[in-house]
Amino acid sequence: MNALANEFVERLRSVIGTPAAGAPFGLHEPEIGDLEKKYLNECLDSTFVSSVGAFIPQFEKRIAEITGAKYAIAVSNGTVGLQVALFLAGVRPGDEVIVPTLSFIATANAVSHAGAVPHFIDSELSTLGMSPEALRDRLTAMRRDAGGTLRNPLTGARIAAISPMHTLGHPVRIEEIADIAAEFGIPLVEDAAESLGSFVTTRSGERKHTGTFGITGMISFNGNKTITTGGGGVILTDDDELGPLAKHLTTTAKMPHKWEFEHDHIGWNFRMPNLNAALGMAQLEKFDRFLDQKRRLAVAYGNAFADFEGGRFSFEPEGTESNYWLCAVQLDDPSLALRDEVLQACHDAGFLTRPMWNLLHQQRMYSSAPAAGDSLGGSLDTAIALHASLICIPSTPKLAERL
């Protein structure tokens, strides 16, 4: 067997020990206990299990407090949250939205469900997220039409938004991306699905939460995220028009009235049920502990891999605080064969490590979507290398108890 793969497994073992037979260490498992059961029972007893109930506004208020967003609108999952966030930012059918090719499928699917087309660009090694340089190059390769609208010269489509993603919880260089977006006059919509609890220290010294730099942003509470509501998400915005509109549009766009069913838009039923918000309220009480445990786990992995020949632990970018949603090790040699040997060795030893997502521009639905590396120049080389070299390692908060 490959010596590097063996050594990789040894380093994992040195941090979290050996899994019990039949109980491998997963990547990120939710912790559900008595508090979750208590709140869920309260919710059941209230009979308000569906689209209205006391837990929903409580949950929204806590997320607004944590993120500093003026409005936090709970929705049924992150993917629809991003779809609505893009719609609110002005994305319409036929438009293109710039996204990193190195992301989970939902980043591109949300664009598609908004009727638009994802337009893929490269990522960078230091943050694992959208490269500001690649963004600038790409936008510079676009053309202004007579009316001043920025368009892709190959497709004629309007560039309607830029949607970076905070990969594995590590913040991208969001201020630089926001500056470029402003310079080109394109709205910024953050896919902060993975980064609840991840902050950036801004140039003005403010500690600002990811997902609050754009006109709109989204955080996910899927079962594998830092906290879970079972399924769920939230739309973030500071905009006094878009905040209430997000709530209105995701709750069927019904006009307030005691009995009339009058609707003023083709709205969505994307509400987060009260049951899920109840689960979320219990999780939020543990959120600080989760963050602390994940950080301690990251420090321990960082130490264990410090002198690992063949790769390095992926630390939070400078000037940021990552939630370390998923800890990852980046192999020095971007090779799918080597990567898979390491994954195989880990799985054989009961460590359920995972690679990054297959690149979006290579997924069959998006293989002919606009992407850097076409006749307008650029490349997706860094994303391709990251895909072939990153390995996500067990990051469940509770594993910190094994340190």
Ligand X SMILES: *Cc1c(COP(=O)(O)O)cnc(C)c1O
Contact footprint for ligand X (CB under 6 A): 77-79, 103-104, 106-107, 165, 191, 193-194, 220, 222, 233
Which is closer to ligand X, CB of 326 or CB of 372? 326
CA–CA dist 282, 355 (Å, integer): 31
Least Å from the CB of residue 377 to ligand X: 26
CA–CA dist 65, 313 (Å, integer): 31
Q: CB–CB of 211/235 below 8 Å?
A: no
Which is closer to ligand X, CB of 164 or CB of 370? 164
Give residue 153's identity as a one-letter amino acid code. P
Least Å from the CB of residue 327 to ligand X: 15
Which is closer to ligand X, CB of 77 or CB of 389? 77
Q: CB–CB of 349/89 below 8 Å?
A: no
Burial class, 188, CB count within 10 angstroms (exposed 0-12 / middle 13-18 / buried 19+): buried
Q: Is 377 left (phi over 0), alpha (psi -120 to 50) or beta?
A: left
Least Å from the CB of residue 77 to ligand X: 4
- In the bound state, the residue with its beta carbon closest to ligand X is 78
Q: CB–CB of 383/127 below 8 Å?
A: no
Tokens read off for 270: 């994307």
Least Å from the CB of residue 393 to ligand X: 17
Which is closer to ligand X, CB of 152 or CB of 220? 220
Residues 6+ apart with CB under 8 A from 147: none
What DSSP letter does each residue of 332-391 carry, written as one string? SS--HHHHHHHHHHHHHTTB--EEPPPPGGGSGGGTTS-BTTBTTB---HHHHHHHTTEE
Least Å from the CB of residue 74 to ligand X: 12
CA–CA dist 113, 339 (Å, integer): 33
Strands 233-237 and 390-393: unpaired
Least Å from the CB of residue 352 to ligand X: 17
Least Å from the CB of residue 211 to ligand X: 11
CA–CA dist 23, 149 (Å, integer): 56
Which is closer to ligand X, CB of 175 or CB of 191? 191
Strands 96-100 and 159-162: parallel
Burial class, 102, CB count within 10 angstroms (exposed 0-12 / middle 13-18 / buried 19+): buried
Which is closer to ligand X, CB of 67 or CB of 152? 67
Least Å from the CB of residue 27 to ligand X: 12
Which is closer to ligand X, CB of 233 or CB of 243? 233
Least Å from the CB of residue 80 to ligand X: 7
Which is closer to ligand X, CB of 11 or CB of 225? 225
Which is closer to ligand X, CB of 291 or CB of 304? 291
